[in-house]
Amino acid sequence: MKGYLRNRLSLRSLRLSLRFVLPLVVVLALLAFAIVPIVDNLTLRWFVRDMDIRSQLITSTLQEPLLELLQQGNRAKINSLFMRAIQDERLFAVGYCDGKGKMLYRTPNFPSDIVCSLPDTAAYKPRSLLHLTQGPVHVAINPIKDNGALAGSMVLVHDMSFVERRSADTKQYVIILFVILGVVISAITVFIAHLSWRGWLKGMRAMLHGEGLVRPFTQTDNPELQPLVGDLRALLRTMDSERRFADDVTIAWTPESLRSLLHKQLDGDQVLVVSNREPYIHMKGKEGIEVRRPASGLVTAMEPVMRACSGIWIAHGSGTADKETVDKYDRVPVPPDRPDYTLRRIWLTNEEEIGYYFGFANEGLWPLCHIAHVRPIFRSTDWEHYMAINQRFADAVVEEAKSDDPVVLVQDYHFALLPRMIRKALPKATVITFWHIPWPNPESFGICPWREELLRGMLGSTILGFHTRFHCKNFLETVDRYLETRTEHESSTIHHRGKLTLVESYPISIQWPLKVQQTQPSPLECRAEVERSLNLAADMLIGLGVDRLDYTKGILERLRAVERLLELHPEMVGRFTFIQIAAPSRSVLEDYQALDTQVRSLTNRINQRFAADSYQPIILKVEHHEPDDVNRYYRAADVCMVTSLHDGMNLVAKEFVAARDDERGVLVLSQFTGAAQELHEALIVNPYHIEQTAEALHRALTMPDYEQQERMRSMRDLVRDFNVYRWAGRMLLDAARIRQREKLAGRIGINHDA
């Protein structure tokens, strides 16, 4: 195969060279024919000038003896003098004309066509080139002076036939010279073309493998090309960012534009999603099987994307009725009411779930990646399960793949090893991994005993996405610290074992407009409903928190800020109620159980402190809420508090904004969320600073309507434009670009695993 490719490549370089050589031969031939007469003319002029000088010289030499012999009238000696003169190979004939223009002496072969002419007459031509029957001749008529007075003239006839011989020779030499020139140039061209083709191939291979982006690929080979390579790379980067900018400006991201992107840019290639959490959970309820939507930012974001892409979503089947609702291939069409895509469920034993999900993912990686002052715990048994379950999901990807090059979207920290496993089984697959949580600095990550394995696993990805540039930077630095790779920070790429990974930020978002919104009552009605259900007074100011019950969410800090608000602004007691919706999460784990206890007891303490009659400052609802319910609370609240201690993005912030089509309500947002980098019109707080958060809450509760409207309108514009379709679309566009490059590499015979 390699030999075949090499032959094809040589043929290609030969064809390439011929394309240059043939025109070169034609041009050289034309040149040669144009140049010969020029050279002829030039040499003739040189020879004529030569003959002129020669004639002068002969005349000067003969003048004295001739004058003497003329005075003596010695005809015989004059003839003999002339005969001796024409012994010269070139001098053909000599004659002498007297002062009256009569030829007195001449050698026997003197051409009859040549006549005398006097230097002072109009017919006098001192030098001329004539074509006689004998052939071409040069005629020079030189005056002979006796003591300064004109005595006569000497006519010297030189044979010029040698010029023709020389011209024929010159023609021959010129043609030979051009032929040699042609051959030499062609040989050099073929040689250079061959080298350049190979060099180009090498360059292409490097570029397509990303080496050109990772390091200057000609650094060692062709240092003189460095400036050119640098310019080329800069140009590529500029084109890339311009292309992205153009995409951003020109594409309005909707489910339709995402669908058409899939068909146009990705040729309708199959899209597979892998996540731990499934988008629809079937539970056994009192009235039969119920379908639940989990409290998960990941699911919130991915679900609309999958509905647009109609692919297969592979996830852990964790519901009590999940097994009863799948077909014999463990598949179930979803959404249940109007199926758009397929959910493929993967089963885990209790022990596996404890090791892989609760243990390694949530006691190890979760606290490792979040700065929330909870120490990570790493156990070898958990690691074993983590590896085994990643492999199980990788096998499922291979089973579900309809081709050898599907687009696989791997979600989150549960699957750090999966990208490499997929790549091993399906080398042509495009693996886009999105890390939904923050990425820590290299020192923090270094705590993990299996740090190298995790990093290597992730580098099986074609694209590795984080929410923010800061997380990308942390990841690049971590890889730099712990693995032997070529990392290029400028282009955010990592080259590891012949594989390139693009590390890019793709801030996640939500569907726009929110699907639930279409069936929701107005904000006023929602408010009335919430007031009724919670027995709140009509003029009560409502604060809202919506989270999983997780220590990273800053729920305790938030409750303390509510307490401080009531201390600092006693007029708010009885006027302000804070509703905390907390979805139970990972409750098997001690840290989560402890948090549950702490949240409940802090709530009780604050309530006891400020309660009066039916008034309760904090309403804690530790239970699962379906998206419709949550949305109703969003629309009813005056303020939404997102006070995470550390959060990749936090979609609650964006959901609240999306829910407020009345352009009312204020968002208090932690500076430690990814969302704070986008939603600048929120009141940004440091959740560790209790007074600052309490004051922000107060400011939110007393903010004039017009200010609420301005802030909310601006945030809504952002969430509308930077919606989840854009998040997925940008990743898929980048993937399409990389796939095109790889296909090109395949076409020109580059082996990607080389």
Question: Which residues, in sequence order, are CB contacts of 730 under 8 Å at separation 6+?
Answer: 244, 247, 506
For ligand F6P, which stretch binds (CB under 6 A), given 140-148, 296-304, 347-355, 426-434?
Answer: 296-304
* Cβ 414 to ligand F6P shortest distance, Å: 8
* Cβ 331 to ligand F6P shortest distance, Å: 21
Q: Would you say 86 and 108 are in contact if contact means Cβ atoms under 8 Å apart? A: no
* Cβ 301 to ligand F6P shortest distance, Å: 8
Q: Which residue is nearest to ligand F6P (CB)?
A: 298
* Cβ 365 to ligand F6P shortest distance, Å: 10
Question: Which residues, in sequence order, are CB contacts of 394 under 8 Å at separation 6+?
Answer: 418, 421, 422, 425
Burial class, 375, CB count within 10 angstroms (exposed 0-12 / middle 13-18 / buried 19+) = exposed
- C-beta of 415 vs 633, nearer to ligand F6P: 415
- C-beta of 153 vs 585, nearer to ligand F6P: 585
Q: List Cβ<8 Å contacts ≥24 apart for 325-328.
A: 325/282, 325/289
Query: What mask, x for binding ligand F6P by CB under 6 A, covers residues 631 to 660?
Result: -----------------x------------
Number of DSSP helices (H) and strands (E) in the chain, helices first? 23, 23
* Cβ 555 to ligand F6P shortest distance, Å: 15
Q: Would you say 638 and 541 are in contact if contact means Cβ atoms under 8 Å apart? A: yes
Is there binding between residue 412 and ligand F6P (CB under 6 A)?
A: yes
Q: How far apart are CA 455 and CA 446, in angstroms?
A: 11
**What is the β-pairing status of strands 149-159 and 135-146?**
antiparallel
- C-beta of 412 vs 557, nearer to ligand F6P: 412
- C-beta of 214 vs 298, nearer to ligand F6P: 298
Q: Would you say 399 and 329 are in contact if contact means Cβ atoms under 8 Å apart? A: no
For ligand F6P, which stretch binds (CB under 6 A), given 49-57, 292-300, 719-727, 740-748?
Answer: 292-300
Q: Would you say 487 and 475 are in contact if contact means Cβ atoms under 8 Å apart? A: no
Closest CA to 272 of 249, 306, 224: 306
Question: Which residues, in sequence order, are CB contacts of 746 under 8 Å at separation 6+?
Answer: 752
- C-beta of 599 vs 736, nearer to ligand F6P: 599
Is there binding between residue 363 and ligand F6P (CB under 6 A)?
A: no
Residue 335 main-chain phi, psi, to 5 deg? -55, 150
- Return the ∠ at Cα 524 (arms to 520 and 525), rounded to 5°: 55
Q: How far apart are CA 449 and CA 567, in angstroms?
A: 46
> Which 525-564 residues touch ligand F6P, going by CB under 6 A?
none
DSSP-derived 3-state class of residue 228? helix
- C-beta of 90 vs 385, nearer to ligand F6P: 385
Closest CA to 625 of 585, 680, 668, 684: 585
- C-beta of 250 vs 350, nearer to ligand F6P: 350
Is there binding between residue 303 and ligand F6P (CB under 6 A)?
A: no
- C-beta of 361 vs 421, nearer to ligand F6P: 361
> Which 47-66 residues touch ligand F6P, going by CB under 6 A?
none
Q: How many CB atoms lie within 10 A of CB 64?
A: 10
User: How many residues appear in the chain?
Assistant: 754
* Cβ 273 to ligand F6P shortest distance, Å: 13
In the list 271, 298, 431, 667, the residue contacting ligand F6P (rule: CB under 6 A) is 298
- C-beta of 389 vs 401, nearer to ligand F6P: 389
| Residues that contact ligand F6P, how many (by CB under 6 A) | 11
> Which 433-492 residues touch ligand F6P, going by CB under 6 A?
436-437
Question: Which residues, in sequence order, are CB contacts of 363 under 8 Å at separation 6+?
Answer: 376, 377, 382, 589, 591
> Which 29-48 residues touch ligand F6P, going by CB under 6 A?
none
- C-beta of 205 vs 471, nearer to ligand F6P: 471
* Cβ 598 to ligand F6P shortest distance, Å: 19
In the list 54, 106, 277, 635, the residue contacting ligand F6P (rule: CB under 6 A) is 277
Q: Which DSSP string do the residues of 339-362 spell out, in sequence order?
A: --EEEEEE---HHHIIIIIIIIII
For ligand F6P, which stretch binds (CB under 6 A), given 173-181, 294-302, 368-376, 474-482?
Answer: 294-302
In the list 270, 296, 433, 603, the residue contacting ligand F6P (rule: CB under 6 A) is 296
Residue 38 main-chain phi, psi, to 5 deg? -65, -45
> Which 175-204 residues touch ligand F6P, going by CB under 6 A?
none
> Which 567-606 residues touch ligand F6P, going by CB under 6 A?
585-586
* Cβ 311 to ligand F6P shortest distance, Å: 19
* Cβ 424 to ligand F6P shortest distance, Å: 25
- C-beta of 316 vs 495, nearer to ligand F6P: 316
> Which 679-698 residues touch ligand F6P, going by CB under 6 A?
none
Tokens linked to 155? 């006519």
Closest CA to 688 of 628, 644, 737: 644
- C-beta of 40 vs 655, nearer to ligand F6P: 655
For ligand F6P, which stretch binds (CB under 6 A), given 70-78, 258-266, 291-299, 463-471?
Answer: 291-299
- C-beta of 276 vs 577, nearer to ligand F6P: 276
For ligand F6P, which stretch binds (CB under 6 A), given 293-301, 323-331, 391-399, 610-618?
Answer: 293-301
> Which 322-351 residues touch ligand F6P, going by CB under 6 A?
none
For ligand F6P, which stretch binds (CB under 6 A), given 295-303, 458-466, 529-537, 700-708?
Answer: 295-303
* Cβ 404 to ligand F6P shortest distance, Å: 29
* Cβ 641 to ligand F6P shortest distance, Å: 18
- C-beta of 361 vs 476, nearer to ligand F6P: 361
In the list 297, 355, 460, 507, the residue contacting ligand F6P (rule: CB under 6 A) is 297
* Cβ 509 to ligand F6P shortest distance, Å: 13
Closest CA to 273 of 307, 311, 243, 308: 311
- C-beta of 276 vs 723, nearer to ligand F6P: 276
- Cα 648 to its chain centre, rounded Å, is 25
DSSP-derived 3-state class of residue 284? strand
* Cβ 436 to ligand F6P shortest distance, Å: 4
Q: Would you say 105 and 78 are in contact if contact means Cβ atoms under 8 Å apart? A: yes
Round the CA-based radius of gyration of the chain to a whole number and report it. Answer: 47
Closest CA to 429 of 446, 409, 457: 409
Q: Which DSSP string do the residues of 395-446 spell out, in sequence order?
A: HHHHHH-SSSS-EEEEESGGGSSHHHHHHHH-TT-EEEEE--S----HHHHT
591-622 CB burial, b ≥16 within 10 A, e <16? bbeebbeebeebbeebbeebeeeebbbbbbbe
Q: Can you give the binding site for ligand F6P, defined by CB under 6 A?
A: 276-277, 296-298, 412, 436-437, 585-586, 648
